[in-house]
Amino acid sequence: MRLVLLGPPGVGKGTQAKQLEKKYRIPQISTGDILRASLRDGTPLGLRAKSYIEKGKLVPDDVIINLIRERLQKNDCKNGFILDGFPRSIPQAEALDIMLNELNTPLHSVVNIEVPGEKIINRLKNRRICRKCAKDFNLITNPPPADMKCPECGGEIFQRNDDKEVTIQNRLAVYDKETAPLIEYYSGKKILRTVNGYNKHEEVHDSIIMVLEGVH
Ligand code: AMP
C-alpha cells in the first residue's frame, strides 16, 4: 500500500502513521523526523534545513524531493510506504507523481485528517516528543513521565522549538497557503479520503482503516 497522510501540523499524522506502519508492515516516512535527525547529527542536510525549520517555513522543494527520491529507493519501500509530512506543496506532489509513475507504482490513497483549527494550536503547544525515537506525548491527554525519559527507548522527551507559539502560527499559515491546495489536487485524482481527526487515536485509526479498506 502506498499512502500519503495529509493534514495540518498537530492533527496526529505521526501517531497514525506509526500505527499503520505496524499494521501493514510498511515504513513510515516522515520528512520532519528525517530533517530533525539530520539537524541533531549536524549533517549537510540538517544545516541546510535548520533556518527554515526554526522559522516554520518549508524547506526548499528541491532539497525535499531529492531526500524522498533517495528514501523511496530503499528496499523497505518495495511493498509500500506511508508518507507523513510529504508532499507539502503542489511541486512536491507533482514530483512524487512523476517518480511513482516512472516505476508504475502510483499512490493508492491520500488520507486527509481534519481537526478544527482552534484545537490544533492547543495540541501543538502541549506536544512533547522523544529526541531519539520521535514518540509523541501530550501534556494534557498523554503526559510524559515525570523524569522526561522516553518509556520506549530512554531518549530525552522535549518540546520542539517549532512547537512554540510564535512558530506555530507561521506553520499553520504555511499549511493554508502551500499545503491545503493538495486537497483539491488529490480529490481531482479521486484518491482523497477524509477522516475526522478530532477523536481518540484509536477511533481515528479505525476510521482510516475503514476508508482504506473501502468499508464506509
Ligand atoms: P513536521 O515534523 O512534519 O511538522 O516538519 C517540521 C518542519 O520540517 C516543517 O515545519 C518544515 O520546516 C520541514 N519540513 C518537513 N517536511 C517538509 C516538506 N515536505 N517540505 C518542506 N519542508 C518540510
Cell numbers found for residue 1 = 500500500
Kindly state if the Cβ of 56 falls inside 6 Å of ligand 1. Answer: yes
Question: From edge to edge, which strands make up the β-sheet containing 127-130?
Answer: 136-138, 127-130, 157-158
Exactly one of 2, 18, 36, 171 is catalytic; which is it?
Answer: 171
Tell me how far apart the alpha carbons of residues 7 and 24 are, in angstroms, rounded to a whole number: 21
| Residuewise pLDDT in 10s, the chain (216 residues) | 999 999 999 999 999 999 999 999 999 999 999 999 999 999 999 999 999 999 999 999 999 999 999 999 999 999 999 999 999 999 999 999 999 999 899 999 999 999 988 889 988 999 999 999 988 899 998 999 999 999 999 999 999 989 998 899 999 999 999 999 999 999 999 999 999 999 889 999 999 999 999 865
Check if 193 is active-site.
no
Tell me how far apart the alpha carbons of residues 82 and 186 are, in angstroms, rounded to a whole number: 16
Q: Domains of the chain (ranges plus CATH)?
A: 2-26+79-212 (3.40.50.300)
Going from the Cα of 63 to the center of ligand 1, the distance in angstroms, rounded, reads 11
Kindly state if the Cβ of 32 falls inside 6 Å of ligand 1. Answer: yes
User: Hey, which of 53, 96, 113 would you mutate to test ligand 1's pocket, going by the most ligand atoms within 8 Å of its Cβ?
Assistant: 53
Q: What is the pLDDT of residue 215?
A: 60
Exactly one of 127, 128, 135, 193 is catalytic; which is it?
Answer: 127
Going from the Cα of 112 to the center of ligand 1, the distance in angstroms, rounded, reads 17
Check if 171 is active-site.
yes
Q: What is the pLDDT of residue 84?
A: 97
pTM of the model: 0.92
Kindly state if the Cβ of 35 falls inside 6 Å of ligand 1. Answer: yes
Tell me how far apart the alpha carbons of residues 129 and 44 are, in angstroms, rounded to a whole number: 24
Tell me how far apart the alpha carbons of residues 212 and 216 are, in angstroms, rounded to a whole number: 9
Q: What is the pLDDT of residue 92?
A: 98
C-alpha distances out from residue 131 to 37, 38, 150, Å:
8, 12, 9
Determine if the peptide bond prior to 87 is cis (ω within 30°). Answer: yes
Q: What is the pLDDT of residue 214?
A: 81
Check if 160 is active-site.
yes
Q: Find, among 109, 151, 113, 114, the residue nearest to 1 by Cα.
A: 109
Exactly one of 2, 13, 18, 128 is catalytic; which is it?
Answer: 13
